[in-house]
Chain A
Amino acid sequence: GENVEQHPSTLSVQEGDSAVIKCTYSDSASNYFPWYKQELGKGPQLIIDIRSNVGEKKDQRIAVTLNKTAKHFSLHITETQPEDSAVYFCAASIGGGYQKVTFGIGTKLQVIP
């Protein structure tokens, strides 16, 4: 089955700096790669996603890149703010109808004011 590795497990950055979280996946059939943000005491919430026919996607301060050949994808957060502090999960799935999503172990991001 699919295996998703995520690193780092913890990340501390100064407010205003950039943060990068990296993930690799094993199943070349995976074609949908979402990123979820989980705030303390809440369920994960989708913040951005990318499909395998796209190399990069941006949404304001957040961007995701995908390298299908190398089977890795990354989350980039620019101009970090204290409210970006949370746990971030990458995931991979074969999209279409029901999706069996495999999650990474999560990255705890701390933005220091």
Chain B
Amino acid sequence: NAGVTQTPKFRVLKTGQSMTLLCAQDMNHEYMYWYRQDPGMGLRLIHYSVGEGTTAKGEVPDGYNVSRLKKQNFLLGLESAAPSQTSVYFCASSYSRQGQGTYEQYFGPGTRLTVT
């Protein structure tokens, strides 16, 4: 199993450009998440999905859109990039293990995005 993979690993954008980050998982997980990581701020949830065709806003959703057309893929879009979106983006997935109370999130390797 590849686990959680992210494409691309690095990207430089100019202000106003758009792009899509792709996350794929091969563990058949129901839940998927997009986080951004900034120095001194930990991991902050952007958007999440509890199943194919469903998405919801997290803590910092402004400026981002997401789609989950297939269970294994979760896309994060930036329609008009801004320098404030310079960050490292992590995708994660998890599943519900009824009755066992373990809810590990599996993270991808990250995408480093710079907006100039």
Contact = CB atoms under 8 A, between A and B. Distances in A.
A40 B1 CA distance: 22
B42 A46 contact: no
A97 interface: yes
Nearest to B9: A41
B42 A106 contact: yes
Given A43-B109, A44-B90, A105-B42, A100 B48 contact: yes
A44 B102 CA distance: 17
A98 B50 contact: yes
Interface residues of A, number: 28
Nearest to B90: A43
Interface residues of B, number: 25
Instruction: Tell me whether chain A's interface is mostly helix, strand or loop, or mixed.
Output: loop
Given A43-B4, A103-B43, A93 B90 contact: no
A43 B104 contact: no
A105 B40 contact: yes
B28 interface: no
A6 B44 CA distance: 15
B109 A49 contact: no
B42 A89 contact: yes
